[in-house]
Amino acid sequence: MVHGSIADAASFSQLDSERFGIRVARAQVVAEGLTRVLDYCTAENIDLLIARCATGDVVAAQTMERLGFLLTDTLLYYGFDLLRKSIPDYVREFVFRPIQPGDQEPVRLIAVEAFKGYAGHYHSDTRLDPHQCDEAYASWAERSTRLKSAADEVLVAEYKGKVVGFGTLRLNSPQEVEGLLYAVASDCRGRGVCGGLMIHSLRWCQSQGARRMVISTQVTNVSMQKVWCRVGFEPCESYYTFHKWFQE
């Protein structure tokens, strides 16, 4: 799902389906489009639908609840207006740069450590294998290091020649960049690495001529939201994520 789009029909998710061994579809829905989404899932023999709706669309949320959908997380989006705000300075002992050959495995290992048991929508669904849920984030990070379809840019944080954090970025449009996946090695957390990654992400956005950067996380991930607020991001949107199983 691309941030900002409103779809009224689901689409087959190849990666999720391969990862969990079931047929998975994804959709961002509005209340009046829910019937079309369910019809698609029936026609395509979908086992699991991952559906997202704006928190303000109470009709869609309550309809999904009545139909047996399981609420699995609430996403908060934050935005930074590059035309209205200045990017903060950053002076620390870490080096930030684009990913280079040889960085792929350190990035994957940081993701494995950082997202083990992560409280996202995958882990909130007890019908999904927790080890496969962990792997979802590690494989996402790994794909981002080699596929433009997964990320337009990957930035890494380096300390004494060692990769200690990363962030992935996607151009949603010429005007908007979305921060997708960020993680920091456990021995460097609390030292400003994440804030530095956000600042250098904003600089990359600026270099692309974008006017805005957006990023999201679960409502429970308060520590990350504090980092974004310190950098200058502001809350802008929120979404519910629901899971619907069609096969018992």
140-182 pLDDT, tens digit each: 999 999 988 899 999 999 999 999 999 999 999 999 999 999 9
pLDDT-based confidence at 246, cuts 50/70/90?
A: very high
Q: What are phi and psi of 132, to 5 degrees?
A: -70, -35
- CB burial string 216-231: b at 16+ within 10 A, e below: bbbeebeebbebbeeb
Q: Residue 119 has what pLDDT? A: 84
In terms of DSSP bridges, do strands 48-54 and 153-159 run parallel, antiparallel, or are they unpaired? unpaired
pLDDT-based confidence at 3, cuts 50/70/90?
A: very low
- Helix residue ranges per DSSP H, 67-151: 104-114, 130-144
**Cα 200 to chain centroid, rounded:** 18
Distance CA 138, CA 90 (A): 28
With 60 as the cut, is the pLDDT of residue 7 above it? no
Task: Take residue 203 and report the two structure tokens written for it.
Answer: 């600089």
Give which of 221, 220, 231, 222 is closest to 193, Cα–Cα.
Answer: 231
pTM as predicted: 0.90
**Domains of the chain: residue spans and CATH:** 11-75+241-245 (no CATH), 80-236 (3.40.630.30)
In terms of DSSP bridges, do strands 162-173 and 176-184 run parallel, antiparallel, or are they unpaired? antiparallel
Distance CA 216, CA 178 (A): 9
CA Rg, the chain, in Å?
A: 18
Percentage of the residues of the chain whose pLDDT score is greater than 70: 96
